[in-house]
Amino acid sequence: MNALWILALEVGVHPISFSPVKILFLNGPNLNLLGTREPEKYGRTTLAEIEQRVSERSARLGAEVEFRQSNQEGELVGWIQQANGKFDWIVINAAAYTHTSIALRDAIAAVQIPTIEIHLSNIHAREEFRHKSLIAAVCTGQIAGFGPTSYLLAIEACVSGNWL
Protein backbone atom coordinates (compact mmCIF):
# COMPACT_ATOMS: atom_id res chain seq x y z
CA MET A 1 0.00 0.00 0.00
CA ASN A 2 1.55 3.33 -0.97
CA ALA A 3 1.32 6.60 0.96
CA LEU A 4 -1.56 7.87 -1.18
CA TRP A 5 -3.67 4.82 -0.33
CA ILE A 6 -2.86 5.12 3.38
CA LEU A 7 -3.77 8.82 3.39
CA ALA A 8 -7.00 8.18 1.48
CA LEU A 9 -8.11 5.42 3.86
CA GLU A 10 -7.24 7.50 6.92
CA VAL A 11 -9.46 10.35 5.83
CA GLY A 12 -12.22 7.98 4.71
CA VAL A 13 -12.26 8.58 0.98
CA HIS A 14 -12.18 6.11 -1.87
CA PRO A 15 -8.47 5.58 -2.70
CA ILE A 16 -9.02 5.65 -6.46
CA SER A 17 -11.43 8.55 -6.90
CA PHE A 18 -10.82 10.46 -3.62
CA SER A 19 -14.58 10.86 -3.29
CA PRO A 20 -16.32 9.72 -0.08
CA VAL A 21 -17.08 6.01 0.14
CA LYS A 22 -20.80 5.63 -0.65
CA ILE A 23 -22.68 2.98 1.29
CA LEU A 24 -26.26 1.81 0.76
CA PHE A 25 -27.82 0.31 3.90
CA LEU A 26 -30.78 -1.97 3.22
CA ASN A 27 -33.10 -3.37 5.88
CA GLY A 28 -35.60 -6.14 5.30
CA PRO A 29 -38.97 -7.12 6.72
CA ASN A 30 -40.07 -6.32 10.27
CA LEU A 31 -36.97 -4.27 11.04
CA ASN A 32 -39.26 -1.21 11.02
CA LEU A 33 -40.62 -2.67 14.29
CA LEU A 34 -37.28 -2.62 16.12
CA GLY A 35 -37.62 -1.16 19.59
CA THR A 36 -40.79 -3.06 20.40
CA ARG A 37 -40.26 -6.27 18.38
CA GLU A 38 -39.04 -9.16 20.57
CA PRO A 39 -36.74 -6.87 22.59
CA GLU A 40 -35.12 -9.85 24.36
CA LYS A 41 -33.67 -10.82 20.96
CA TYR A 42 -33.26 -7.49 19.16
CA GLY A 43 -32.98 -4.95 21.98
CA ARG A 44 -34.90 -1.71 22.45
CA THR A 45 -33.09 0.48 19.92
CA THR A 46 -35.38 1.62 17.10
CA LEU A 47 -34.38 1.55 13.43
CA ALA A 48 -34.47 5.37 13.42
CA GLU A 49 -31.96 5.40 16.29
CA ILE A 50 -29.73 2.93 14.43
CA GLU A 51 -29.93 5.14 11.33
CA GLN A 52 -28.89 8.13 13.46
CA ARG A 53 -25.85 6.25 14.82
CA VAL A 54 -24.96 5.10 11.30
CA SER A 55 -25.14 8.70 10.03
CA GLU A 56 -22.94 10.00 12.85
CA ARG A 57 -20.30 7.28 12.44
CA SER A 58 -20.30 7.65 8.64
CA ALA A 59 -19.87 11.41 8.89
CA ARG A 60 -16.93 10.91 11.27
CA LEU A 61 -15.31 8.40 8.87
CA GLY A 62 -16.03 10.52 5.80
CA ALA A 63 -18.49 8.05 4.24
CA GLU A 64 -21.84 8.90 2.65
CA VAL A 65 -24.79 6.68 3.47
CA GLU A 66 -28.32 6.07 2.36
CA PHE A 67 -30.49 4.06 4.74
CA ARG A 68 -33.65 2.25 3.61
CA GLN A 69 -36.11 -0.35 4.88
CA SER A 70 -38.75 -2.39 3.09
CA ASN A 71 -41.08 -5.24 3.93
CA GLN A 72 -41.23 -6.19 0.22
CA GLU A 73 -38.70 -8.58 -1.32
CA GLY A 74 -39.16 -7.07 -4.81
CA GLU A 75 -38.47 -3.55 -3.57
CA LEU A 76 -35.19 -4.70 -1.98
CA VAL A 77 -34.23 -6.44 -5.24
CA GLY A 78 -34.98 -3.21 -7.15
CA TRP A 79 -32.83 -1.12 -4.81
CA ILE A 80 -29.90 -3.54 -5.21
CA GLN A 81 -30.18 -3.35 -9.00
CA GLN A 82 -30.40 0.45 -8.98
CA ALA A 83 -27.31 0.73 -6.73
CA ASN A 84 -25.05 -0.20 -9.64
CA GLY A 85 -22.74 2.71 -10.42
CA LYS A 86 -24.07 4.79 -7.51
CA PHE A 87 -22.68 3.04 -4.42
CA ASP A 88 -19.29 1.52 -3.52
CA TRP A 89 -20.79 -0.85 -0.94
CA ILE A 90 -24.11 -2.39 0.05
CA VAL A 91 -24.69 -3.34 3.68
CA ILE A 92 -27.79 -5.49 4.05
CA ASN A 93 -29.76 -6.84 6.97
CA ALA A 94 -32.11 -8.95 4.87
CA ALA A 95 -33.92 -10.12 8.04
CA ALA A 96 -36.10 -13.20 7.31
CA TYR A 97 -35.32 -12.98 3.57
CA THR A 98 -31.75 -13.97 4.48
CA HIS A 99 -33.00 -17.52 4.94
CA THR A 100 -35.45 -17.71 2.04
CA SER A 101 -34.61 -15.38 -0.84
CA ILE A 102 -32.86 -16.68 -3.93
CA ALA A 103 -34.01 -13.44 -5.60
CA LEU A 104 -31.94 -11.31 -3.20
CA ARG A 105 -28.95 -13.62 -3.61
CA ASP A 106 -29.19 -13.38 -7.41
CA ALA A 107 -29.53 -9.57 -7.27
CA ILE A 108 -26.40 -9.26 -5.10
CA ALA A 109 -24.52 -11.61 -7.44
CA ALA A 110 -25.71 -9.65 -10.48
CA VAL A 111 -24.43 -6.23 -9.41
CA GLN A 112 -20.71 -5.70 -9.11
CA ILE A 113 -20.92 -4.07 -5.67
CA PRO A 114 -19.20 -5.61 -2.64
CA THR A 115 -21.89 -6.44 -0.09
CA ILE A 116 -21.76 -7.06 3.65
CA GLU A 117 -24.44 -9.18 5.32
CA ILE A 118 -25.31 -8.00 8.81
CA HIS A 119 -27.60 -9.14 11.62
CA LEU A 120 -28.39 -7.79 15.05
CA SER A 121 -28.57 -11.27 16.57
CA ASN A 122 -26.16 -14.18 16.17
CA ILE A 123 -28.19 -16.19 13.66
CA HIS A 124 -25.91 -19.22 14.17
CA ALA A 125 -26.85 -19.43 17.85
CA ARG A 126 -30.59 -19.40 17.17
CA GLU A 127 -33.13 -21.79 15.58
CA GLU A 128 -31.65 -24.10 12.98
CA PHE A 129 -33.60 -22.52 10.10
CA ARG A 130 -31.70 -19.27 10.79
CA HIS A 131 -28.28 -20.92 10.51
CA LYS A 132 -28.51 -21.00 6.72
CA SER A 133 -28.05 -17.72 4.87
CA LEU A 134 -28.84 -17.85 1.15
CA ILE A 135 -26.98 -14.58 0.59
CA ALA A 136 -23.76 -15.33 2.53
CA ALA A 137 -21.93 -16.95 -0.38
CA VAL A 138 -22.34 -13.87 -2.61
CA CYS A 139 -21.35 -11.40 0.14
CA THR A 140 -17.87 -10.23 1.02
CA GLY A 141 -18.48 -11.13 4.66
CA GLN A 142 -20.98 -11.40 7.48
CA ILE A 143 -21.29 -9.51 10.77
CA ALA A 144 -23.80 -10.94 13.24
CA GLY A 145 -24.55 -10.80 16.93
CA PHE A 146 -23.47 -7.31 17.96
CA GLY A 147 -26.89 -5.63 18.06
CA PRO A 148 -26.88 -2.14 16.53
CA THR A 149 -23.07 -2.22 16.64
CA SER A 150 -23.20 -4.73 13.73
CA TYR A 151 -24.22 -1.74 11.57
CA LEU A 152 -21.29 0.39 12.79
CA LEU A 153 -18.77 -2.43 12.33
CA ALA A 154 -19.93 -2.73 8.72
CA ILE A 155 -19.07 0.95 8.10
CA GLU A 156 -15.59 0.34 9.50
CA ALA A 157 -15.18 -2.60 7.08
CA CYS A 158 -16.33 -0.51 4.11
CA VAL A 159 -13.98 2.41 4.76
CA SER A 160 -10.98 0.26 5.65
CA GLY A 161 -11.12 -1.17 2.14
CA ASN A 162 -8.18 -3.53 1.94
CA TRP A 163 -7.96 -6.23 4.58
CA LEU A 164 -5.42 -8.58 3.01
Residue positions annotated with a catalytic role: 42, 119
Q: Count of alpha carbons within 13 Å of 92, Cβ hemisphere only?
A: 33
Q: Which is nearer to ligand DQA, 27 or 58 (CB)?
A: 27
Q: Which is nearer to ligand DQA, 43 or 161 (CB)?
A: 43
Q: Least distance to ligand DQA from the beta carbon of 63, Å?
A: 21
Q: Using DSSP, state whether 22 is helix, strand or coil.
A: strand
Q: Least distance to ligand DQA from the beta carbon of 122, Å?
A: 8
Q: Which is nearer to ligand DQA, 61 or 120 (CB)?
A: 120
- Ranges of H-type helices in 62-92: 73-82
Under 8 Å between Cβ of 33 and 71 = no
Under 8 Å between Cβ of 67 and 51 = yes
Backbone angles phi, psi at 24, to 5 degrees: -100, 120
Under 8 Å between Cβ of 73 and 97 = yes
Q: Which is nearer to ligand DQA, 77 or 118 (CB)?
A: 118
Which whole-number Å values give the CA distances from 40 to 37, 94, 114, in the listed order? 9, 20, 32
Q: Least distance to ligand DQA from the beta carbon of 130, Å?
A: 4
Q: Least distance to ligand DQA from the beta carbon of 96, Å?
A: 4
Amino acid of residue 160: S
Interface residue list for ligand DQA (CB under 6 A): 30, 93, 95-96, 98, 119-121, 123, 130
